[in-house]
Amino acid sequence: MNRTRKTLSALVLGGMLLVSTGCEDKVCKDALAKATTAVEATAKAQQAASSELAMTKAKLAATEAALAASQKELDALKAAAAKFAEQAAVPAGAKKKGKKK
């Protein structure tokens, strides 16, 4: 009887262990599936953010090039305005007078 009780208790405990392990496996698989889905979603979001950042950098480079061109044009216009103001400051009748021959 003692031997039968030990065998039966071992079988019952072993069966409970197998059943509980099966449940744990299901829980672990579900958790793994959720984590995998979350990682995939995060990777897609990161890739989208990277492409958006690349587009923004390209726009920034184009804007900086346009700004540099505008600055160059502005400097040229300032130089032309200064030259024009210099010429306008000299009166028309104040040209050098030379001796008449």
pTM over 0.85: no
Q: Which helix (H) or strand (E) holds 89?
A: helix 2-89
pLDDT at 74 (0 to 100): 96
% of the chain beyond a pLDDT of 70: 70
Closest CA to 3 of 11, 29, 94: 11
> Residue 94, SS3?
coil
- Which tokens go with 12? 């019952």
Q: Between vectors from CA 86 to CA 85 and to CA 88, what angle results, nearest 5°?
A: 60
DSSP symbol at 93: T
pLDDT at 70 (0 to 100): 97
